[in-house]
Every structure is written in C-alpha cells, then in structure tokens.
C-alpha cells in the first residue's frame, strides 16, 4: 500500500471518528435533555388528561382543557399568583436595597466583630423555618404583621438576605479600592461612584443571587402557611388545594405547577447570560 | 480570667437568657384560660333531648334577631373539603342575613393541623372557628383550646326553635362529646364541636369484577379471603383484590382495621390502677391482626404500605382494585359519571363480619366545626355555626353540592338526596344498616396520634416479616403504647 493511500485512510478514519464523536456527544446531550425535560413534559401531559384517564393511560388519551378551566376560572389561582408575585418580588427588592449596602460595608469597612456579624447573617439560614415559626407567629400576631404583605416580605428576608449579602460581598471584595479612588479623583461623588462604577461591576453576582433569592422566596411554604391565610395565600399553599378531600386532581395540580414555574423560567431566560458567570465568580472568592 | 473575657461571658449569658425568656413568654401566650372552655371533667348541659326543651322556649328563625352582631368579623379555618366549598359558596347569603363578615382560609389536610395547632396555641383568638376531627379535639380540648358549645345550645336566647338539634345524626353529636378524662368513651361531657359531615366504613366493590368472575359479595371474613384469592389479577397485570390503607400513619388504623378490630371483640385500652393499659396484645387483638395480615398478603396491593385514602380510592376507580374496605364516601367520588374508569360499576355493602347476622360495628370519622375558646367574637361565631349546621344548609351542601356523608337525618331521608344517590347502589342501604352501630371505637386519650402511628408502623413491620409472629409484634407494640401513655394518671381527674 502506498504512503499516499495510507494518509488518505488515516484522514478518513479521523473524519469518521470526529463524526462518531459528534454523533455520540449529540446523542448523549439529547438523552440528557430528554431526562431533564421529562418531568416538565409529564406535567404537560397530565395537565391535558381528564381524571378518568389519569391512571389508565400514558401517552395515548383524549386531551382536554378542563383542568385549565377548573384551575384558572374555577378557583382564585390568579389571586394567589399575584399575591405570591408581590410577596416574592417585594422580598427581593427589600433584600437588594438593604443587602447591597450591607455587603459593601462588610467588604470595605473594618469594624469590630465584622466577621461575627457576617456569620450571624449567614446563620439565619441554619435553622429550619419550622423551628422559629411559633415565636415569629406570636410576635406577628402581637405587632399586627400577621397575614400582611409587609409581614411576609419581612420574614422572607431570612431566606433571601443571607444569600445575596454573601455573594455580593465577594464581588465587592474583588473590586480594587483604587477603582473607587480613581473615580473620586475624577470628581464623582460617593453615590455616583457606587452606582456608576461599582454596581455595573457587581451586576452578574447581583443578578444571579437576586434570581436565586426570588426562586427561594417564590417556593417558600412554611412561612406563608403559618403566617398568612385569611387575606394572603401564596401559590405554594393554593396549589395543594387541588389535592382535594375527594381525590387528588393530578391534572389540576399539574396545571397549577406549570403556571407556577413560569415566572422563574421567564426570569432565568432573561438573565441567563449573567447567571453562570455570576454564580461561578461568587463561588471562587477567597 | 481577664475582664474582657468576663464581660463577653456576661453579655453572652444575658443574650441567651433574653432570647429564652422572649421565646417562652411568646410561646406561652396568655395564661388566662377562658372559663367556658371545655375543661376536663366538665359536663355540658346539652344532650339532644335537653336542647329540644331549650328550643321550645326559643324564638323561631323568622323572629330571631339575626342582625344582632352586625358588623362583627368572624375568622374561620377550613380544611380543603367538599363541605368547605359548600360553606364558602353560601357566605354572601350568610353575610346578607346577619351582617357578619367572614374571613376564611382553606388549607389542604396535609398541612392543616400543623397550621391550626400553631394558631390555637397562640391564644390570640384567631381563628374564631375551625374545622376538626374528633381525635384532634381530644388533644385541643385537653389543652383548653376548645369552647364547650353546650353553653350556646343550652341557651334559649342563642338558638332558634326550628334549629332542630335532634335531627343531627345522634351518633355524630355523641362522637363530638367528651368529658376530657382519658379512658372515658365519647358521648358524655362537653360538646366540643358540631358535625358537618362524617364517614363510616363499609365494603365498596366493583360489580363488573364480581359478575365476570361469578362471585358473591363477601359477608364474612372467610368469604372475604376466598374472594381475594379469586380476584387477584382480575383486570390484567397489576390489578388486585382489595384496597386497604397501609401508610405509616394513624390513618391506616382508623378505617377498616379498627372497625374489624372491634368486631373481633378487641379493645385498645383498659383502665388498671388509675392507668391506661394497652390491650393490643389480647387474644382477640392478635387473632384480628393475624386475619388482617392474611388479608393484605392474599388480596392487597403490592404497594400497600404506601396506601392512604387517595391511593385506595384511585385504585378502585381505575379498575386496579376489585374491592375497597374504607370510608363509604371514598368510593363515591370515583363513581360519579365520568369521574373514573370504573365509574358506574361501584357498589356498596356492609363490612364483612365473623358470621352472617353479626352486628357490623364501624368506627367513625367526623368533620366538625369547633369554636376557639380564646375567640373574641364567640356570639357572632355561634351565629355562623348555627347557620352552617342548619337543616337547610345541610340539604344544600349534600344535594346541590357534594358534601358527604350528611350530618342531618332529614337529608338522608329526603327524596332529593335519595334521587341524587340513586346511581350509588347500596350506599344508603349500607349507611342505614351500619349507622346505629357506629361510634368512635378508640379510647379517647391525648396521645392518640402517637399511639396509632406506632400501631401502623408495627403493622407494616409485621407484614414485612420483621417479627417472628403477629403475637411478638403486638407484644412489642403494647410495650411502646404503655410507655407513651405512662404519664396519664387517672386519679388526677377524680
């Protein structure tokens, strides 16, 4: 066999290997995508099934929109959705307004017990919610915060604040003090330095931790279960109502869950570019 | 020790003490117990015949001043239930008639009692009214959280002459009366709540399964086991004979198991030397549990140990189970037109007994409405209670809505209800054959949930073969239950 033929064969083998490698990679990713998306697909299927077909059919059934009608028109689902949005959005907003300056102070200023304060904030996440719920409930009853938007927004800070402060603090620490000093030399006031120089630099971390804080607040169950109910009922509590006393209306549960994840998916898609960078930067801070 | 260190220690101790005092004072709530709460040993002046006498002195509904608490706001906690749906749909009418505003919350049963217990223990007065089962009321009334409704039922100025208290199913009323003394059966003492709906236990079966296999509906335990053998796999792979609850919680014990337990002549507790003593290892209890384990092995689902109300009902409706020994209204929800695969094929019969003609003793579950003893709006709350336990509302809730089983005899007897239930063969007949021998078969005591959950766990372990015999398992269970109730001293109540 001539050298030229050998080279040709070798090149063809490499091409074949590359094609096989691509094919294998895509096949693997396709399987992973199917695996990852299957719960979502299964929920969509369940949401289109009547109760009578729920246990007897898998993929072949007569689709119906009755579950959507029952949930969206027959119950106060939208009210709960809106209330959840107000409480979770409000909680994240308050966290950002209070947490970013707190993170800056913890990163920049030297004061006594700084690390203890930072650890104290982190420690809010240590205890399970059910452990602190009774005293919080009693205090809320006494000071009139029970079953109010502000009460829930306030108590949600236990969920959202530690995460944001610790992620954003890492970002501030990573920004050189000289950047601020240079801006001040150029005549910027401190607020301008903060908003025009520092905030853009911490944006990936702020966005990523803000989104995670929103997801945690949106999915919170114990606090809204005990601290509200008559005037405010969040979507996590309302969704369980389709597990009725007569039977579990799995189709309606699926509709409620599908719509409940929409804000999280939408928010994630909008800020996807910041998300991975934000979280990975925050993760390696020393 | 340096001064700084001592200072630090002092500050730490001060903070810990402050935190502890704050928590305990918060958790303790108000120390004041309203005098009208259903205290142990108290006796309400309102058995049904006495209330009938009071009603004769009362004003008719037309003359009664329904607006006397106009402007008040009543807070009500509902569990997710068909009767709650019926009440909510009538709230505008109630407000129009009384001028009382109602704020309510509806919570799924899985989380409901956690939320309710927290609210009641705060002694804040919220909610004014709450839905509950009888078992939970033993706990709540022992803690002083429950108002004795006899105070209202026995007052001619608070009741209307046409309230017709005697029309409420007597055994349901009795199931919600208790004197607060552990070991004493229900039926005496304070009226802890009024029933909205209840369930009794019976055998639901798939008529198609029995017709296709030429089988007779079982009447005795022996028949039941034979039928189980014949019905395994009756509707293809995965189908089985009988759906029973088996999850590791109290819900497994109180339906079919406890009813059969009583029919074997077994009891859960006896009183000995001012103590409650578990009787779960008596010969009758062991014989019954041996039968039950046999039933599960010969006819039950392979996933029996995960089964709750929902799985049992769903399997009957889906054609997986040929029978279900559970609450009578569980199968109803699968049998309405279009509700499930087997809708229209389900029928009811009295639970199997030792020999034909024996009395079928059934355990009881009631969904009832109780009043918070710390409520600041008790009179307005009573108006709500009277309105939503009335004959008219009970009729509406069961006939126009789907609340089952109705707590009013007049509803069971009404043509409208009979007509509505015409497509549920055997349901009313089974009720009529069982209701007179239906009562709460458990011995009331404040550790009900702890002991019955332990019971369910032991039953699972016996079925799984973790004990050498049923007797060994029940002996171990007796020791655990005796330990759980060991601090109950009955002499403290006399």
* Residue predicted with more confidence, A123 or A161: A161
Q: What would the mean pLDDT of A171-178 be, rounded to a whole number?
A: 89
Q: B301 and B226 in one domain?
A: yes
Query: Per-residue pLDDT for B368 more than 70?
Result: yes
Q: Which of A204-208, B43-47, B86-90, B155-159 has the weakest average pLDDT?
A: B43-47
Give the pLDDT band (50/70/90) at residue B60. Answer: confident
Q: Which of A258-267, B302-311, B384-393, B455-464 has the weakest average pLDDT?
A: A258-267
Torsion of CA A110, A113, A118, A121, to 10 degrees: -140
- Domain residues for the domain of B448 are 201-362+441-493
Q: Which of A232-246, B118-132, B255-269, B407-421 has the weakest average pLDDT?
A: A232-246
Query: Per-residue pLDDT for B26 more than 50?
Result: no
B313 touching chain A per CB within 8 A: yes
Q: B243 and B135 in one domain?
A: no
Longest dimension (CA), chain A: 94
CB A210 within 8 A of CB A92: yes
* Residue predicted with more confidence, A130 or B460: B460
Contact B110 A137 (CB under 8 A): no
Query: Per-residue pLDDT for A282 more than 80?
Result: no
Q: B277 and B162 in one domain?
A: no
Query: Per-residue pLDDT for B437 more than 90?
Result: yes
Distance (Å) from the C-alpha of residue A11 to the closest C-alpha of chain B? 55
Model pLDDT for residues B240-284, shown as the tens digit of each residue: 999 999 999 999 999 999 999 999 999 999 999 899 999 999 999
Predicted local distance difference test score (pLDDT) of residue B2:
54
Predicted local distance difference test score (pLDDT) of residue B37:
62
- Domain residues for the domain of A16 are 3-47
Model pLDDT for residues A98-109, shown as the tens digit of each residue: 999 999 999 988
Q: Which of A130-144, B327-341, B462-476 has the weakest average pLDDT?
A: A130-144
Q: Is B407 within a domain?
A: yes
Q: Is B36 within a domain?
A: no
Q: Which of A214-223, A262-271, B414-423 has the weakest average pLDDT?
A: A262-271
Contact A50 B338 (CB under 8 A): yes
Model pLDDT for residues A176-201, shown as the tens digit of each residue: 888 888 988 888 888 888 888 898 88
Predicted local distance difference test score (pLDDT) of residue B30:
38
Q: What would the mean pLDDT of B373-379 be, rounded to a whole number?
A: 96
Q: A175 and A77 in one domain?
A: yes
Q: What would the mean pLDDT of A243-253 be, rounded to a whole number?
A: 84
Q: Is B58 within a domain?
A: yes
Distance between CA atoms of residues A275 and A119, nearest Å: 25
Predicted local distance difference test score (pLDDT) of residue A190:
85
Angle between helices A157-174 and A114-123 (to 10 degrees): 140
Q: What would the mean pLDDT of A39-61 be, rounded to a whole number?
A: 88
Contact B111 A225 (CB under 8 A): yes
* Residue predicted with more confidence, B416 or B25: B416
Query: Per-residue pLDDT for B440 more than 70?
Result: yes
Q: Which of B119-123, B175-179, B425-429 has the weakest average pLDDT?
A: B119-123
Predicted local distance difference test score (pLDDT) of residue B110:
82
Q: A22 and A120 in one domain?
A: no
B82 touching chain A per CB within 8 A: yes
Predicted local distance difference test score (pLDDT) of residue B23:
46
CB B407 within 8 A of CB B196: yes
Query: Per-residue pLDDT for B25 more than 50?
Result: no
Model pLDDT for residues B273-319, shown as the tens digit of each residue: 899 999 999 999 999 999 999 999 999 999 999 999 999 999 999 99
Contact A137 B122 (CB under 8 A): yes
Q: How many domains does chain B have?
A: 2
Q: A146 and A273 in one domain?
A: yes
Question: Taking the CB of residue B150, how many other CB atoms lie within 10 A of it?
Answer: 23
Q: A243 and A179 in one domain?
A: yes
Q: A217 and A117 in one domain?
A: yes
Give the pLDDT band (50/70/90) at residue B33. Answer: very low
Of B401, B486, B393, B396, residue with least CA distance to B445 = B486
**Best residue in A46, A83, A138 for a mutation probing chain B (most B CBs within 10 Å):** A138
Predicted local distance difference test score (pLDDT) of residue B393:
97
Of B233, B236, B254, B237, residue with least CA distance to B245 = B254
Query: DSSP assignment of B336-352, as one string?
Result: STTSSTTTT-EEEEPPP
Predicted local distance difference test score (pLDDT) of residue B54:
79
Q: Residue B405 has which token pair? A: 């089983």
Q: A162 and A211 in one domain?
A: yes
Q: Is A71 within a domain?
A: yes
Q: B185 and B84 in one domain?
A: yes
Q: Residue B96 has which token pair? A: 């129009």
Distance between CA atoms of residues A93 and A98, nearest Å: 9
Q: What would the mean pLDDT of B194-203 be, rounded to a whole number?
A: 97
Give the pLDDT band (50/70/90) at residue B10. Answer: low
Count CB pairs under 8 A between chains A and B.
100
Q: How many domains does chain A have?
A: 2
Interface confidence, given as ipTM, is 0.75
Give the pLDDT band (50/70/90) at residue A215. Answer: very high
Q: B208 and B252 in one domain?
A: yes
Q: A170 and A28 in one domain?
A: no
Domain with residue B115: its CATH number is 3.40.190.10
Predicted local distance difference test score (pLDDT) of residue B27:
42
Predicted local distance difference test score (pLDDT) of residue B35:
36
Cβ-Cβ contacts under 8 Å, B22 against chain A: 135
A64 touching chain B per CB within 8 A: no
B274 touching chain A per CB within 8 A: no
* Residues sharing a CB contact under 8 Å with residue B202, sequence separation 6 or more, in sequence order: B325, B328, B348, B349, B350, B351, B360, B362, B430, B434
Q: A242 and A106 in one domain?
A: yes
Q: What would the mean pLDDT of A158-174 be, rounded to a whole number?
A: 92
Q: A266 and A194 in one domain?
A: yes
The share of chain B scoring above pLDDT 70, in percent, equals 90
Q: A260 and A130 in one domain?
A: yes
Distance between CA atoms of residues B303 and A26, nearest Å: 38
Q: Is A54 within a domain?
A: no
Q: Is A56 within a domain?
A: no
Predicted local distance difference test score (pLDDT) of residue A129:
85
Give the pLDDT band (50/70/90) at residue B478. Answer: very high
The domain boundary, picked from B423, B453, B473, lies at: B423
Predicted local distance difference test score (pLDDT) of residue B242:
98
Give the pLDDT band (50/70/90) at residue B28. Answer: very low
Count CA atoms within 13 Å of residue B379 on its CB side.
Answer: 12
Looking at the partner chain, which of B26, B107, B315 has a beta carbon nearest the beta carbon of A138? B26
Contact A237 B29 (CB under 8 A): no
Query: Per-residue pLDDT for A284 more than 60?
Result: no
CB B199 within 8 A of CB B283: no
Q: B55 and B136 in one domain?
A: yes
Distance between CA atoms of residues A85 and A271, nearest Å: 18
Length of chain B: 494
Model pLDDT for residues B67-120, shown as the tens digit of each residue: 999 999 999 999 999 999 999 999 999 999 999 999 999 988 888 998 999 899
Q: Is B15 within a domain?
A: no
Q: B294 and B379 in one domain?
A: no
Distance between CA atoms of residues A223 and A238, nearest Å: 14
DSSP H/E element including B157: none
| Helical residues (DSSP H) of A55-198, grouped into ranges | 66-72, 77-108, 114-123, 129-143, 149-155, 157-174, 177-185, 190-192
B243 touching chain A per CB within 8 A: no
Contact B103 A245 (CB under 8 A): no
């Amino acid at each position: 066999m001539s050298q030229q033929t050998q080279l040709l064969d070798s090149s063809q083998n490499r091409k074949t290997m590359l094609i096989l490698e691509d094919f294998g990679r895509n096949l693997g990713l396709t399987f992973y995508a199917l695996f990852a998306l299957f719960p979502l697909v299964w929920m969509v299927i369940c949401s289109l099934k009547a109760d009578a077909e729920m246990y007897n059919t898998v993929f072949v059934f007569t689709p119906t929109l009755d579950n959507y009608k029952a949930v969206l028109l027959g119950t106060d689902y939208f009210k709960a959705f809106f209330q959840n949005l107000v409480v979770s959005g409000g909680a994240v907003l308050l966290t950002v307004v209070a947490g970013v300056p707190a993170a800056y102070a913890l990163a920049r200023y030297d004061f006594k017990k700084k690390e203890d304060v930072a650890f104290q904030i982190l420690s809010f996440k240590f205890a399970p919610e059910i452990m602190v719920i009774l005293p919080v409930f009693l205090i809320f009853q006494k000071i009139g915060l029970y079953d109010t938007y502000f009460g829930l927004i306030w108590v949600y800070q236990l969920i959202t604040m530690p995460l944001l402060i610790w992620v954003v603090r890492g970002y501030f620490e990573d920004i050189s003090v000289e950047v601020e000093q240079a801006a001040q030399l150029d005549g910027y006031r401190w607020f301008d330095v903060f908003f025009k120089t520092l905030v853009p630099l911490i944006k990936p971390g702020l966005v990523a931790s803000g989104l995670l804080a929103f997801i945690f607040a949106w999915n919170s169950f114990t606090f809204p279960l005990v601290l509200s109910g008559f005037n405010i009922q969040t979507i996590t509590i309302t969704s369980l109502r389709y597990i009725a006393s007569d039977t579990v209306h799995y189709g309606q549960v699926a509709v409620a869950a599908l719509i409940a994840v929409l804000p999280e998916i939408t928010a994630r898609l909008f800020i996807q570019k910041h998300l991975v960078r934000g979280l990975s930067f925050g993760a390696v801070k020393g | 020790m340096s001064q700084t260190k001592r200072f630090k220690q002092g500050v730490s101790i001060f903070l810990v003490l402050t935190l502890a005092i704050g928590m305990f004072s918060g958790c303790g709530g108000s120390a004041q117990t309203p005098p009208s709460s259903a205290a142990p040993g108290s006796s309400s002046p309102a058995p049904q015949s006495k209330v009938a006498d009071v009603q004769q002195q009362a004003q008719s509904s037309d003359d009664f001043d329904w607006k006397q608490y106009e402007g008040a706001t009543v807070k009500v906690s509902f569990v997710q239930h068909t009767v709650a749906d019926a009440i909510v749909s009538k709230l505008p009418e109630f407000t129009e008639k009384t001028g009382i505003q109602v704020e309510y919350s509806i919570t799924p049963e899985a989380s409901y009692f956690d939320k309710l217990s927290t609210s009641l223990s705060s002694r804040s007065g919220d909610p004014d009214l709450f839905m509950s089962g009888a078992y939970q009321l033993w706990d709540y009334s022992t803690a002083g959280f429950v108002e004795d409704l006899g105070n209202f039922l026995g007052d001619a100025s608070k009741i209307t002459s046409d309230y017709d208290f005697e029309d409420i199913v007597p055994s349901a009323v009795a199931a919600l009366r208790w004197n607060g003394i552990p070991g004493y059966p229900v039926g005496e003492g304070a009226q802890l709540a009024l029933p909205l709906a209840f369930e009794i236990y019976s055998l639901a079966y798939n008529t198609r399964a029995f017709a296709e296999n030429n089988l007779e509906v079982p009447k005795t335990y022996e028949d039941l086991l034979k039928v189980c053998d014949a019905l395994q796999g009756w509707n293809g792979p995965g189908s089985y004979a009988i759906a029973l609850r088996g999850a590791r919680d109290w819900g497994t014990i109180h339906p079919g198991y406890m009813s059969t337990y009583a029919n074997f002549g077994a009891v859960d507790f006896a009183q000995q030397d001012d103590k409650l003593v578990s009787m779960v290892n008596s010969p009758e209890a062991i014989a019954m549990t041996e039968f039950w384990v046999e039933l599960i092995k010969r006819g039950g689902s392979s996933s029996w140990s995960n089964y709750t109300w929902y799985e049992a009902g769903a399997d009957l409706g889906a054609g997986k189970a040929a029978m279900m020994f559970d609450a009578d209204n569980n199968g109803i929800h699968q049998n309405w037109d279009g509700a499930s695969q087997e809708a229209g094929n389900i029928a009811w019969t009295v639970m199997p007994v030792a020999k034909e003609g024996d009395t079928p003793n059934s355990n009881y579950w009631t969904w009832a409405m109780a009043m918070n003893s710390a409520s600041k709006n008790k009179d307005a709350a009573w108006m709500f209670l009277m309105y939503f336990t009335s004959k008219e509302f009970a009729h509406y809730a069961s006939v126009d809505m789907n609340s089952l089983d109705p707590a009013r005899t007049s509803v069971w007897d009404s043509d409208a209800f009979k007509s509505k239930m015409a497509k549920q063969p055997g349901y009313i007949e089974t009720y009529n054959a069982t209701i007179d021998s239906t009562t709460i078969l458990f011995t009331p005591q404040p550790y009900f949930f702890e002991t019955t959950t332990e019971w369910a766990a032991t039953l699972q372990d016996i079925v799984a073969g973790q004990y050498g015999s049923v007797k060994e398992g029940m002996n171990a269970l007796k020791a655990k239950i005796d330990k759980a109730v060991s601090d109950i001293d009955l002499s403290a109540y006399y």
